[in-house]
């Protein structure tokens, strides 16, 4: 885990910033890169802000493009370009392209261990950021992103918005029902763990399991 010179953070974000300094890859996912250099390097931006409804996190919903992650909610992000200096540069560039945010208002404060997404073969580095100066957001590429959402942490922690998803493959993992989206898979798993690390999680019914909705 890589930490940066910490920008001034709001008090509610400090427990998470402290917790991730010692986080291990296996604390975040059961899917770890199989070997050094395996997969395609990529990064996502997990951007925390503070809006009218309190603390929130930025999510996008991918367009129905027919790709592997078509129609899925996700953190902004994508593959590393040759000109990117590293995961932080990739995460912020992709977030700007996908949501139209102004990078000048984003202050990264931690780079989490790289994780493996077997279905796509990507090695993803999550970058945590504080949205010190929020700007308006909207789908940057409508053929890639159908909508952009600032989802309040309070909505993510509501017990009635939490459940587990059963994928046809047999996978069962944490999920959230917010803003007419079902957030699951890589994104749902990371949100689940970050809520716990930040001390925000409320008790919820982990035995409530539903089948993955048809996303076509």
Q: Domain for residue 190, yes or no?
A: no
Confidence check: pLDDT of 109 > 90 = yes
The model's pLDDT over 114-135, given as tens digits with 9 standing for 90+, comes to 999 988 889 999 999 999 999 9
Q: How many domains does the chain have?
A: 1
> Is residue 191 domain-resident?
no
Domain at 116, CATH number:
3.90.79.10
Q: Are strands 181-183 and 172-178 parallel, antiparallel or unpaired?
A: antiparallel
Residue 125 belongs to what domain range? Answer: 2-152
| Half-sphere exposure (Cβ direction) of 119: Cα atoms closer than 13 Å | 9
pLDDT classification of 210: cutoffs 50, 70, 90:
very high
Going by pLDDT thresholds of 50, 70 and 90, the confidence category of residue 37 is confident
- pTM (two decimals): 0.94
Q: Examine residue 214 and state whether it is found in any structural domain, yes or no.
A: no
Q: Look at residue 183 and tell me if it is in a domain.
A: no
Q: Per residue, what are the HEC states of 5-17? A: CCCCCCHHHHHHH
Asked whether residue 193 is domain-assigned, the answer is no
> Domain for residue 215, yes or no?
no
Query: Mean pLDDT, the chain, as a whole number?
Result: 92
Strands (E), 52-171: 54-62, 73-74, 77-79, 106-111, 115-117, 122-131, 145-152, 162-166
Is 139 a member of any domain? yes
Assess if residue 49 is contained within a domain: yes
């Amino acid at each position: 885990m890589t930490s940066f010179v910490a920008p001034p953070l709001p008090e509610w974000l400090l427990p998470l910033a402290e917790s991730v300094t010692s986080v291990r890859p296996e604390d975040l996912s059961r899917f770890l890169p199989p070997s050094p250099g395996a997969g395609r390097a990529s990064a996502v931006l997990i951007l925390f802000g503070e809006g009218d409804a309190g603390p929130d996190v930025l999510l996008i919903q991918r367009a129905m493009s027919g790709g592997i992650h078509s129609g899925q909610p996700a953190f902004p992000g994508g593959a590393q370009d040759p000109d990117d200096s590293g995961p932080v540069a990739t995460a912020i560039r992709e977030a700007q392209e996908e949501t139209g945010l102004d990078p000048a208002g984003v202050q990264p404060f931690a780079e989490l261990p790289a994780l493996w997404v077997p279905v796509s073969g990507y090695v993803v580095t999550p970058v945590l950021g504080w949205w010190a100066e929020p700007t308006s957001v909207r789908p940057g590429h409508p053929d890639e992103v159908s909508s952009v959402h600032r989802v309040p942490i309070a909505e993510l922690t509501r017990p009635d918005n939490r459940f587990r998803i059963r994928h046809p493959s047999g996978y069962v993992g944490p999920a959230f029902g917010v803003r007419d989206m079902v957030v699951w898979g890589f994104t749902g798993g990371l949100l689940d763990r970050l809520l716990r690390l930040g001390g925000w999680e409320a008790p919820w019914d982990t035995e409530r399991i539903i089948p993955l909705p048809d996303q076509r």
